[in-house]
Chain A
Amino acid sequence: MPEQRLPIPYSALPSSLIDAVRVPIDTYIIKVASRCNLNCTYCYGDESYQLQPYRMSSATVLAFLSRVASYCLEEHLQEILFIFHGGEPLLAGKDFFREFVTVASASLGIQVKPTYALETNGTLLTSEWLDLFRELDISFGISLDGPAAINDRNRVNHAGAGSYSKVRRALDAVLADRRLDQLFGGVLTVINLAAEPLDLYHHWREIGIRRCDFLLPDGTYDNLPPGLSPDGLQTPYADWLIEIFDEWFKKEDTTLSIRIFENIIKLLFDPEAGNDALGGGQSGLLVVETDGGMEPLDVLKICGSEFTKLGLNVARNEIREVHSADLMHLYQLGATGICNTCRACPVVAVCGGGYLPHRYSSRCGFANPSVYCRDLMKLITHVRDRVLAAIPQHTCQKLRLRTLSYEEALVLRVPGELTGGRPDAKP
């Protein structure tokens, strides 16, 4: 297992401080199937999936839900969220989900209310699956990166064939069925800089998508995302997103909810609105691998092979034992665990230092700004200025609010330093 280079030896901290940042686990990402029928070029998974069983066994489901029931009692939790994930979760088969929900009801009793969600690549989605989601009250999202010409560059099967046509068929069926409005969470899109942002936005509107989110491709300082260079001076993702934001904001497009933009606007008004990806919110999330292994955030796999392995498994360990793991502490710290460069930054209340995996370098561990530091700063200052323009002038005057440009923000963060804080960047 590679050295994780955590910035603080959390296990050495006083228990009172550890307790202060400890978040009860109330969300479980369950890798119900370890394999995927797609072979997306940017998948964050390491090779460890090859050692996993293809599908989560009944024994693992039983052991897991028994641990969850005990943990909920210990922590006095009354509501929990199960997110079915993979691989491709539909490869687990319909019976798996019926069994899981049945066992969960029996294990959790009436004291704990479970909620179910699922993220699928959509290629296997049929009317039978949609019926099952309604039957079991499973909300779901579909991953799709854009029109065929864009989606099929990265989201391909193991033979290299694009997935758009299959996903589009499923998506059209979902959008045509108003009974699914409450269950369908929308489309998740990994940003591809080759896509024309406005073409993508209009494509989503034409299809009739009502909720979507744009995800920054996963990457670290050791393995930069596409389009970013080591000098850290470019902001291609901010520029891409701003094109869509301006169109969406100008249209006051309430028919299409775009989560990343809505979250930034909320964070401008509410510092508590953050999540683990934006705003430095603390998260009570735990990943359960197909073999029952318990791990912190799965995207941390991009930091190195077996980086997330804690050596804990629902077959042998209680859920509470994950709180003793340093990597779990780090993940749960949220914005408390950011580096000094971020602490001095004017937009930290909104970006929260960015997503934890995106801060990693083998040289400095997680004590870096995000690889998307400049992109986040540019996007946030842009959104902030547009929001301020919507506030009545007399209110802005009374509050002495004024715009804050990206260039001003850079100078305010580290006077005279314009490198984006990258450990290897040259001024």
Chain B
Amino acid sequence: MGEEKTQFTIDLGEIELTDEEVSNLGNELVKLAIESVRKKSGSAAILKEPYVRVLHVKAIHTKAIHA
């Protein structure tokens, strides 16, 4: 019997914001917002200067079977 687990990696194109990096975000309210975005659509976006533009990022769902 194994446990199925979904891991999220937010692919920011050139960089990735891993679960660990998300957990290291400096504010619980920002974490909650990102988690809410992930739950809603499996995607997120982030701002880029100088304009408040958004870069779509995709969540990568990794299913791992743990023995």
Contacts and interface: CB of A to CB of B under 8 A. Distances in A.
Nearest to B57: A269
B45 A271 contact: yes
Contact of A398 (B15, B47, B55): B15
Task: From B41, B50, B55, name the one whose CB has the most chain A CB atoms within 10 angstroms.
Answer: B50
Q: Secondary structure of the A side of the interface?
A: helix
B36 A404 contact: no
Contacts of B55: 399
Contacts of A261: 29
B66 to A, nearest CB: 28
Contacts of B36: 262, 266
A380 B52 CA distance: 10
Interface in B8-54: 12, 14-15, 17, 21, 24-30, 32-34, 36-37, 40-41, 43-54
For chain B, give the interface size range.
20 to 34
A253 to B, nearest CB: 8
A377 to B, nearest CB: 10
A346 B44 CA distance: 19
A389 B32 CA distance: 16
Nearest to A262: B33
A172 B36 CA distance: 29
B26 A399 contact: no
Interface string A374-411: 00000011001011111110010011111010001100
A399 B54 contact: no
Interface in A247-278: 248-249, 252-254, 261-262, 265-266, 268-273
Given A262-B29, A398-B14, A399-B12, A271 B49 contact: no
A269 B53 contact: no
A386 B33 CA distance: 14
A266 B33 contact: yes
A380 B54 CA distance: 14
A2 B28 CA distance: 49
A8 interface: no
B47 A268 contact: yes
Given A270-B45, A272-B41, A395-B15, A390 B50 contact: no
Interface of B: 12, 14-15, 17, 21, 24-30, 32-34, 36-37, 40-41, 43-56
Given A269-B44, A391-B26, A400-B49, 14 more contacts: A262-B32, A268-B46, A269-B45, A270-B37, A270-B40, A272-B41, A350-B52, A384-B47, A384-B52, A391-B25, A391-B30, A399-B46, A401-B48, A404-B49
